[in-house]
Amino acid sequence: MTSRATAARRAAVLGKPIAHSLSPVLHRAAYEELGLTDWSYDRFEVDEAALPGFVEGLGPEWAGLSVTMPLKRAVIPLLDGISETAASVETVNTVLFTEDGRRLGDNTDIPGMVAALGERGIEQVDSAAILGAGATASSALAALARICTGEVVAYVRSEARAVEMRQWGERLDVEVRTADWADAAEALRAPLVVATTPAGATDALAHAVPERPAALFDVLYDPWPTELAARWSMTGGAVVSGLDLLVHQAVLQVELMTGLGPAPVEAMRKAGEHALAAR
């Protein structure tokens, strides 16, 4: 990569609400390890209405933005181009400002999921299950497109969500079958279960964890562990957490924004763990 780290640069995370974001902790830890003493990373609470004005007001010192809800799709019309990965799910979580003044969008959530799973030795599965059908579920489906060789079953609460997930499957070239949320306990027997639901949504499933579960990727990180993840760990199954995802997507953001790499995965993870423990 070409280094852009020779001068003072700025980056930040945008979203609403944003006070809970761990992104500043992770990125600042990376800057410290990489010796980027003149770089800063902040957080700004910005909604869809305020986003265009915020972006237009940024000066040449800005290297990039991390974008979280509800801005991951709202930011796209403000950009000069987006990566194939971002286009595949119509979702951007990273904005890069180039030296020639362009704004480019990318999505590090999808490769971040793949990297977080790979870190636990989960590099390929022959089938998988997804719990939920929101925006995170589409990114999970895109990640599974890279590692799952067979069917993905999505457990959803409505027919409208089921239709959406099947459409995403067609778009991402993944074999998707949908099932009713009432049968979600069946998902837990899959070689890989990806829980993309809000806090508390999977608590009632904890009692249904099989005696020998395979792998669970729970995208939540606060509170942690979820009841499902705690039970999964107790029975000896592999668990990948939302913090693992957050760290790996941030690693890719740091490398893209700074032009330096590899980013310090363990230093970023430790900083995130420390921040969560202090809450």
Q: How far apart are the C-alpha atoms of 270 and 189, rounded to whole Å?
A: 32
- Token output for 276: 């969560």
Among the listed residues 109, 155, 164, the one whose alpha carbon sits nearest the alpha carbon of residue 132: 155
What's residue 98's pLDDT? 95
Q: Catalytic positions, please?
A: 72
Span 7-45, pLDDT tens digits: 789 999 999 999 999 999 999 999 999 999 999 999 999
Q: How far apart are the C-alpha atoms of 94 and 88, rounded to whole Å?
A: 15
49 in Cβ contact with 79 (< 8 Å): no
Which of helix, strand or coil describes residue 11?
A: strand
Q: How far apart are the C-alpha atoms of 259 and 252, rounded to whole Å?
A: 10
- Token output for 155: 């457990």
- Residues contacting 130, CB < 8 A, separation 6+: 137, 140, 141, 144, 152, 153, 154, 155, 165, 187, 193, 194, 196
| DSSP bridge partners of 45 | 15
Span 202-246, pLDDT tens digits: 999 999 999 999 999 999 999 899 999 999 999 999 999 999 999
Q: How far apart are the C-alpha atoms of 264 and 253, rounded to whole Å?
A: 12
Helices (H), the chain: 23-34, 51-56, 84-89, 109-119, 135-147, 159-172, 227-234, 242-258, 265-278
- Residues contacting 277, CB < 8 A, separation 6+: none
Residues 48-60, mean pLDDT to the nearest whole number: 97
Main-chain dihedrals φ then ψ at residue 35, nearest 5 degrees: 75, 25
Question: Where would I find the beta strands (DSSP E) of 171-276?
Answer: 176-180, 192-195, 215-218, 238-240
Span 116-131, pLDDT tens digits: 999 999 999 999 999 9
What's residue 8's pLDDT? 85
Among the listed residues 152, 122, 137, the one whose alpha carbon sits nearest the alpha carbon of residue 219: 137
Among the listed residues 205, 264, 243, 248, the one whose alpha carbon sits nearest the alpha carbon of residue 111: 248
What angle separates helix 23-34 from helix 242-258, to the nearest 10 degrees? Answer: 50
Residues 243-264, mean pLDDT to the nearest whole number: 97
What's residue 134's pLDDT? 85
Is the model's pLDDT at 279 over the cut of 90? Answer: no
What's residue 5's pLDDT? 46
Q: How confident is the model at residue 4 (pLDDT cuts 50, 70, 90)?
A: very low
Is the model's pLDDT at 194 over the cut of 80? Answer: yes
Span 140-177, pLDDT tens digits: 999 999 999 999 999 999 999 999 999 999 999 999 99
**Per-chain mean pLDDT for the chain:** 95
219 in Cβ contact with 195 (< 8 Å): yes
Strands 40-45 and 62-67, how do they pair? unpaired
